[in-house]
Structure 1
Amino acid sequence: MVAAREVTLQELLGGSYQYTVPLYQRTYSWGRPQWQRLWEDVVDVADHRRDNPSATHFIGSLVLAGFRDNGPGGVQRWLVVDGQQRLTTLTLLLAAVRDHRAEHEGPMHADRVNEKYLVNKWEDGDLRYKVLPTQADRAAYRGRIEHAPDAAEGSRISEAHQFFLTKLFGLSQPSADGEEEQLTLAEVESAVVAGLSIVSVTTGENDNAHRIFESLNNTGLKLTQGDLLRNYLFMQLPTRADEVYTTLWLPLQNLLSNEELETLFWLDLVQQDPKVRQTEIYAGQQRRMRGLQDESQVRAEVERFLALGRLYDVMLRPEKEKDAAVRFRLARLRAWRTTTTFPITLHLMERRSLGDIDSDELARALLYLESYLVRRLVFGRYSDGLNTTLLAATADIQGQDDPADALHRFLSSGRKHFASDDQIRQAVMTAPFYTTGRAAHRKLILRWIEESYGSKEPVDLDSATIEHVMPRTLTEEWERALAGQLEAHQDLREVHTELLHTLGNLTLTGYNSELSNGPFAVKRAELAKSGIRMNQEISAEPVWGPAQIRARAERLADRIVGIWPGPSAEAASGVAHTAWQTLTDAVAAIPDGSWTSYGELARLIGSHPVPVGTYLARTALPHAHRVLQAGGTVSPSFRWPDVHRTDDPHDVLAAEGVRFSEDGRADGGQRLLAEQLAELIDVDVDLTDPRSLAAPGNDPALRDRWVDRLHDHNDPESARALIEVQRGWVERGGRAEFADNAAGGCFLVVPRASARVIWPVILYPTYGVEVVFYHLAKWAPFTDEALLDEFRGRLNLVPGLEFGPEALRRRPSIRPQILQPAAAQEAFLDALEWFLHTVQEDDRSA
């Protein structure tokens, strides 16, 4: 039976009592904010008690469970189920009162406060202390109670005691104006022991104290799932808790942070259940351990956690690994900075610790894992089902004799996007590597390629950045230089767009970014000075254009397939469709009277419209003329595979049954989407119609055209990011209006009953997000420059975005890649929501 009553510290501590914080509870965690709040409560109640001596102030609850061996005599012992932070802090405050009064008023106060509130005078050992913190805090706490400062140095316990000493010292100083009557130490002590009210909740012999603990709404520091699991374990150790805590749990707790511990418990669970979520750690572990029969089995579980924790510690800090090859691979995976590899890596590390595999096999398995990550990114399919695949791999290789080969086979089979050598070579030649995946991963791959040269004098690449050799913005000098290298039928802008972001045009540099648009002769001289081998190769070229970029791409592709092994030939041979074969089949299946776009084909195979266009231009495919631009027009660069064929593809399509508008656009109703193409060739791909993701606007047809053009001009992740921004704006109360012009932008408009139309940004399919600071400066309420500058500051909270004050006079753009991460989208939408509310509030006050 649970009983509750209101008590003061005088009642709680004024007898032969001991309140023990169980080993399963977290260590003392309160800090300055909590200490300050408690001190303010004490001062406030002390001040009130001057006029009303019986005044009290409620400060919270204390949940206690009685020891089963408590008898009628001796010290009555209680377990502190909840409230240990508050109770420990109050006794430290009393210790500070004791020390300060003993120093300034006389030594008799030391014995008096000790015997009344801090110690059981006639007891020895742990029973001497009325409050006994959890084991990790006991040395520090004893030091404060027994005046042994060295034992408590640097701990939270020591800091709390010193905090209250400082506050008490402040009371003994005269007030600034000399008029305010300071509280006396006696008044402070009385307020602590008699003026603070606590609800003491005690459980009966048949009550489950841990169940009560789980359900409490702790008003101090919230318990993590790791805390709850620790509590559960040690509640199952009534006689062996001290030994297990000291020898097993404390070393684990010292090895890993609270967050790392919680992740470890999830990694342990996910080995058996790949679907378990990190929010289900405590419930999942509790279910798993319900069958434990006795304390020995519980101890064995904690011992197993310690062993796993040591392995996880090495994963997080690879420098602790003894084997050089394994250490190298672990460091690579750690540099990749993703938790998706943790479950499989921990499983492999555990297999080695059990003697199932040796370090060479472990290093080989980790290489396959690294290769899988790198090849997926280069191929442009990095995030597609990666987490699910690696969790499934962990379960798949369990129990197999050679987990390295088993992992290789698993990753190579089915549609897991483990790119083959041919796919890597094609992607390196055509895919926009610079816009694929995360920027940090792209830099890592270039860094690892550079390291593969094995330079005798390694260069510090930490500060290097990715540089386009042929620049993103062509100067007149670059245009003249490139024009002289083009074939007669090639268009300069198309070639620039096609090759700009490919791997062959990218390198790592540490030189001044001001040279980024400089002529190649200037860049060449700078690159020649670089210690980076990739740059020395580029500097050996007399000119830089399409031929040099493609030749370098071939060399880089050779290096990539040499560094990172591809899928196993045995498993890969069973794959029904590679990406390009899927595309070939889809184009061949387009029936008469239908057409599709480069963007839809890119969606089908998870690529980008540019490499799709390049592939079609270089590969003789039936029905390639049925692939059009998003707007339903024939690409200006379209060429028949047969060089002698001169008929107009527009006329051919019309003869086949495709209807065209007066301005030459194919009928959108005859366009095949990626889902329909997949159905035509009977392939199972996970596709979501992007049109269904976008919020409605002023015209459904214009909305669909905007979405289609997004996918024709951007990689899938960037297109999805802009759709998420558009939808998020509408969900927050804004309106989307699509322009019916060549640019085809989506204007994020503030709904207004009257006054002029106002919008903060335009989402363009071709070059990203335009922020219209220049126009806003002329529109109320942003004619107030301080308000406009606040909008700039809020936009700068988006990771990777930094508009300077000069942006307020311009219309700067944001690359879609910046908005790919969910956190960036959320921060951007927060800024837009502030903009929306600011305009609406100004309208209401007008």
Structure 2
Amino acid sequence: MDASKNNMLRLISGPDKKFIIPVYQRPYSWKKENCEQLLKDLKEVYERKHQSHFFGSVVYVSENNGSCQEFIIIDGQQRITTVSLFLLAIRNYVQKHPELDVKTINTRKIKNAYLTDEYADNAKKLKLKLIQSDDDAYNALIEGKQPIEDTSITSNYNYFYSEIGKMTVPELEGVYNAISTLDIVSISLKPEDGDNPQLIFESLNSTGLDLETADKIRNYVLMNMKHAKQEKFYRDYWEPLEQTVGHGEINKFIRFYLANKTRRLYDEKKLYFEFKYYREDSGLSLESILQDMIEYAEYYREITAPDKNSTPYSDILKRISKLDVKTCVPLIMDLFKANSSGYISDEELRKALEIIENFIVRREVCDLPTNALNKLFVQVGAEVDKDINDEDISYYDAFCRELLSKTGRSRFPNNHEFRERFESYDLYNAKPGMRKYILERLENFGIRELVDVEKLVDDKTLTIEHVMPQTLSDEWKKQLGENWELIQTRYLNTPGNLTLTAYNSDYSNSPFEKKKTMPEKGFLFSKLTLNDYFKNCDSWGEEQIRERAGILYQKAEKIWWMPSAAETDEDAKPEWVSWDEDADVTSKLVTQVEVMGTLINTKDMTEAYRKIHAVLFELDPTIYYNSGFSWFGKSKTDVRKARKLSDNAYIETNTNSQDKMKAIKAVCEAMELDSDDVRLLIGDKPVKAAFDINDESTYSAIKTRKLAYEMFGKLIHDGLISKEEVQSLRTKERTKELFRHTDYSALADRRDANKGNSSQIRYRKNPLIFEGKELYVTTQWFDDDRDAIVQWYRSHLK
């Protein structure tokens, strides 16, 4: 790196120089106030006869392309561009006003020394090359063509030109001469000597360069490339990416794309460095990542702009959008990817999207927190991939099973819980979007003449009506009975008491009979299905509210249906539970804990409790001493069945599992830890004995389909199976002859072989390699074939 004092005009003057603003930079963005400040500074230099004025720094990488020296600008775009615009405005003004007696301004020098290279090829005459939109506007001004309006380039040029017109000749000459006093620090980076432009950029950004996350990532992708390659990558990848998702959505897209790939949803402030880590950890080339991002950008556009994309699922995606739970985007990306890869059919994709919609709505009604979904939605896809890789289960079935397997705050509310909470749900005080969505679905379910509830509510044609009003008259209190206050408190804002009407102001707090029979406006005359129940009611009270809530629930259960669990013979799987989840750990087995990224094996909740505290105490002992925990003491006698953490630090262990979990939660809250900083792997049953292919006593530890895969793999790896036998096992006939219950060929060259019209993949995800080619093992094995598979495997070992 060479840094030296320089002068702005001296830097840009001279032949065979070209200053290039690389495509990864933002557009020129100086505003009028920046130009006003520059002009004010130049006038001060002129009026006070200053010898110099410091104008900041210019950081660049210099490359010799054979015909000229290219200066790739890392920092200083705004200053170089603004000075060039001011010089151009001076040149054009003086040329257009020959009557001015200007002696010290050489317009030919401005053009040939500062703005163009008169000896260069026509295509390369301009010394300053901006990014595309700015470059077109700059070229138009240089060449005297029709200006391109609505750009900062043209706007700032016009400002300078206008201000020049207000100056006297001495003032203009003085300001022009003042430009020559603009001193800079010129910093030339030399990548060949180890200078890293990207690290320099990061340092500049950390001290005040205000860039969007996407700008930083674009710079990271393109900065270390040669200029020609930068142009190609920008044109082929980055520009299509931004066009697909929209410039305003690019940061959100990158956040959800990274969540899908890393299975963690990062704060937007961390995305730049997380993108770098992902690229480095994945080992993928930037080109591969960008190609993948473009594919996922198409998914993102379909998910977030369903109104602009006509697909078989647009209606569901529109509804999901109304729920305003954006964190489901990574999971929907998983589904779209599975669909494009042939793992899930269009119909199954549609059902899976409905399940996500239903999952969100049921949780809303049951008052389960949305923040629990942040982690869940990014992890389900990975869990589904593991399921279909490990066993004979379709993508759709694995998807359903994983959602249904969640517990605690992450659970999928069952019908019993949904019904119980639906009847008492405070629908009126739900978020406006959710409230309109639920009423619209209840109104339109099962009918052909759909009512655009959202539009009619937005334009106030329809409003939400409390049948039992918010303010009760004496007549209402009498009708409700002696428990009127309790009834109003319990049911006022619930689905059973709410409806839609165009006559809310007419109804006011009128008695039910009037609301029902009001000429042309009463419930009797309403065409809305939500008002059908009232037509057969003579009064309104607790009984009617509960009965109508039950009728609406029957609709709700069909609208927001719950999938059935996929039928498998899998035992309940251990599940990772974070410290901040309301998980029931009573009588559970805790086989591992993860504390601050470190995995620790445990045998039960008691050991997990001790080991978690040991790590957290070492991390910050002051939390334990200063928080007043009832289960913590400075001596053995302070707590029951004390466990020593260190001298003068003991925790109580004579508590049940739930209390242990509460103690862990209390410490994590006090330390302000993230959800994933402390996790426990809990399950219902002990982990089965580890499988060892050399120990027949462990063969029962895994399923038949997995056992067959391991045995084929072992024989192929050890060279104990012939080419002829492999070929024969590619046929159903030979497979059936050996293994009576298996209906598909044991081996295949493709994973989607023998699929027929079904969406089910019948071969394992991970292939074996036989004689340099991929070989897939079927998953279609049954327990009745276990002995036959073992006998067949033994026969090859003799």
Give me the TM-score of the superposition, normalised by structure 1.
0.61
Q: Deviations over 1:620-658 (max 9, x none)?
A: xxxxxxxxxxxxxxxxxxxxxxxxxxxxxxxxxxxxxxx
Among candidates 272, 294, 298, match of residue 282 of structure 1? 272
Bigger mean CA deviation after superposition, 564-573 or 284-293: 564-573
Given the alignment of the two structures, is residue 155 of structure 1 paired with residue 129 of structure 2, yes or no? no
Unpaired stretches in structure 1, ≥5 consecutive residues: 173-180, 484-489, 577-581, 587-677, 694-846
Q: Per the alignment, do residues 125 and 358 of structure 1 end up closer, same or farther by CA in structure 2, a change over 3 Å counting? A: farther
Asked if the contact 1:329–1:366 (Cα under 8 Å) also holds between the matched residues in 2, the reply is yes
Among candidates 131, 135, 143, match of residue 134 of structure 1? 131
Among candidates 555, 560, 581, match of residue 559 of structure 1? 555
Asked if the contact 1:256–1:309 (Cα under 8 Å) also holds between the matched residues in 2, the reply is yes
Equivalent residue number for residue 230 of structure 2: 241
The CA RMSD over aligned residues, in Å, is: 3.7
Asked if the contact 1:17–1:120 (Cα under 8 Å) also holds between the matched residues in 2, the reply is yes
Q: Per the alignment, do residues 183 and 38 of structure 1 end up closer, same or farther by CA in structure 2, a change over 3 Å counting? A: farther
Cα shift at 1:342: 1.1
Cα shift at 1:469: 1.7
Given the alignment of the two structures, is residue 77 of structure 1 paired with residue 63 of structure 2, yes or no? no
Asked if the contact 2:499–2:530 (Cα under 8 Å) also holds between the matched residues in 1, the reply is yes
Percent sequence identity over aligned pairs: 28
Whichever residue aligns with residue 322 of structure 1, its letter is: S
Equivalent residue number for residue 442 of structure 2: 449
Whichever residue aligns with residue 95 of structure 2, its letter is: A
Equivalent residue number for residue 420 of structure 1: 414
Q: What is the total number of aligned residue pairs between the two structures?
A: 569
Q: Deviations over 1:759-811 (max 9, x none)?
A: xxxxxxxxxxxxxxxxxxxxxxxxxxxxxxxxxxxxxxxxxxxxxxxxxxxxx
Q: Deviations over 1:406-436 (max 9, x none)?
A: 222111113133121222222222343444x
Q: Deviations over 1:60-112 (max 9, x none)?
A: 22111111x367xx532211011212322221222222222222237996544
Aligned with 1:200: secondary structure?
strand
Q: Deviations over 1:34-77 (max 9, x none)?
A: x322323323422441341x44333322111111x367xx5322
Whichever residue aligns with residue 520 of structure 1, its letter is: F
Bigger mean CA deviation after superposition, 537-546 or 81-90: 537-546
Cα shift at 1:232: 1.7
Aligned with 2:73: secondary structure?
strand
Cα distance between partner residues in 1 of 2:496 and 2:58: 67
Whichever residue aligns with residue 467 of structure 1, its letter is: E
Give me the TM-score of the superposition, normalised by structure 2.
0.64
Cα shift at 1:208: 1.2
Cα distance between partner residues in 2 of 1:38 and 1:314: 42
Cα distance between partner residues in 1 of 2:664 and 2:546: 32
Given the alignment of the two structures, is residue 471 of structure 1 paired with residue 469 of structure 2, yes or no? yes
Whichever residue aligns with residue 80 of structure 1, its letter is: I
Bigger mean CA deviation after superposition, 518-527 or 446-455: 518-527
Aligned with 1:251: secondary structure?
helix
Q: Per the alignment, do residues 382 and 39 of structure 1 end up closer, same or farther by CA in structure 2, a change over 3 Å counting? A: same
Equivalent residue number for residue 429 of structure 1: 423
Equivalent residue number for residue 23 of structure 2: 23
Asked if the contact 1:47–1:183 (Cα under 8 Å) also holds between the matched residues in 2, the reply is no
Whichever residue aligns with residue 266 of structure 2, its letter is: R
Unpaired stretches in structure 2, ≥5 consecutive residues: 575-581, 587-654, 671-798
Q: Per the alignment, do residues 274 and 125 of structure 1 end up closer, same or farther by CA in structure 2, a change over 3 Å counting? A: farther
Map 1:387-406 → 2, pairs under 5 A = 387-398=374-385, 400=388, 402-406=394-398
Asked if the contact 1:318–1:327 (Cα under 8 Å) also holds between the matched residues in 2, the reply is yes
Equivalent residue number for residue 338 of structure 1: 325
Cα shift at 1:293: 8.2
Equivalent residue number for residue 409 of structure 1: 401
Equivalent residue number for residue 488 of structure 2: 496
Q: Per the alignment, do residues 304 and 85 of structure 1 end up closer, same or farther by CA in structure 2, a change over 3 Å counting? A: farther
Aligned with 1:352: secondary structure?
helix
Cα distance between partner residues in 2 of 1:558 and 1:308: 38
Q: Deviations over 1:351-402 (max 9, x none)?
A: 3334433332221111010000011111222436122222221322236374
Given the alignment of the two structures, is residue 97 of structure 1 paired with residue 65 of structure 2, yes or no? no
Cα shift at 1:341: 0.9
Q: Per the alignment, do residues 308 and 272 of structure 1 end up closer, same or farther by CA in structure 2, a change over 3 Å counting? A: closer
Given the alignment of the two structures, is residue 438 of structure 1 paired with residue 431 of structure 2, yes or no? yes
Map 1:809-828 → 2, pairs under 5 A = none
Aligned with 2:443: secondary structure?
helix
Q: Per the alignment, do residues 79 and 56 of structure 1 end up closer, same or farther by CA in structure 2, a change over 3 Å counting? A: same
Given the alignment of the two structures, is residue 196 of structure 1 paired with residue 182 of structure 2, yes or no? yes
Asked if the contact 1:28–1:85 (Cα under 8 Å) also holds between the matched residues in 2, the reply is yes
Among candidates 35, 38, 54, match of residue 38 of structure 1? 35
Aligned with 1:303: secondary structure?
helix
Cα shift at 1:184: 3.5
Among candidates 285, 288, 293, match of residue 305 of structure 1? 293
Q: Per the alignment, do residues 37 and 510 of structure 1 end up closer, same or farther by CA in structure 2, a change over 3 Å counting? A: farther
Cα distance between partner residues in 2 of 1:424 and 1:288: 40
Cα distance between partner residues in 1 of 2:512 and 2:41: 74
Cα distance between partner residues in 1 of 2:115 and 2:177: 15
Cα distance between partner residues in 2 of 1:270 and 1:257: 19
Among candidates 154, 166, 173, match of residue 186 of structure 1? 173
Cα distance between partner residues in 2 of 1:686 and 1:522: 58
Cα distance between partner residues in 1 of 2:214 and 2:251: 5
Cα shift at 1:458: 2.5
Given the alignment of the two structures, is residue 261 of structure 1 paired with residue 250 of structure 2, yes or no? yes
Cα distance between partner residues in 1 of 2:452 and 2:528: 7
Equivalent residue number for residue 649 of structure 1: none
Asked if the contact 1:318–1:331 (Cα under 8 Å) also holds between the matched residues in 2, the reply is yes
Asked if the contact 1:140–1:158 (Cα under 8 Å) also holds between the matched residues in 2, the reply is yes
Cα shift at 1:554: 0.7
Among candidates 349, 359, 383, match of residue 362 of structure 1? 349
Whichever residue aligns with residue 471 of structure 1, its letter is: P
Cα shift at 1:333: 1.4
Whichever residue aligns with residue 243 of structure 2, its letter is: N
Among candidates 480, 483, 494, match of residue 482 of structure 1? 480
Q: Per the alignment, do residues 187 and 681 of structure 1 end up closer, same or farther by CA in structure 2, a change over 3 Å counting? A: closer
